[in-house]
Amino acid sequence: MSIVADRLNALTVRVQSPDRNITAQMRGRSDLSLTFAAGSYATYDEESLAAQLSRLATSLWIGLQRGTDEALKGTDVEAVRTPDDAWDEDSRKFLKARREVVGNGRSPGNCVKVETVGMRDWRIRIRPGTLATYHETELIGELLTAVVAARNDYTIQVEELSERMHL
Q: What is the pLDDT of residue 142?
A: 98
CATH of 3-164, one of 3.20.20.10, 3.40.640.10, 3.30.1310.10, 3.40.1010.20: 3.30.1310.10
Residues 46 and 27: their CA atoms lie apart, in Å, by 27
Instruction: Indicate yes or no: pTM above 0.85.
Output: yes
Residue 151 has pLDDT above 60, yes or no: yes
Between 52 and 73, name the one with better pLDDT: 52
Identify which of 46, 41, 51 has the alpha carbon closest to the alpha carbon of residue 135: 41
Tell me the per-residue pLDDT of 107-150, one tens digit each, with 9 for 90 and over: 999 999 999 999 999 999 999 999 999 999 999 999 999 999 99
Instruction: Quote the DSSP letter at residue 138.
Output: H
Tell me the per-residue pLDDT of 136-148, one tens digit each, with 9 for 90 and over: 999 999 999 999 9
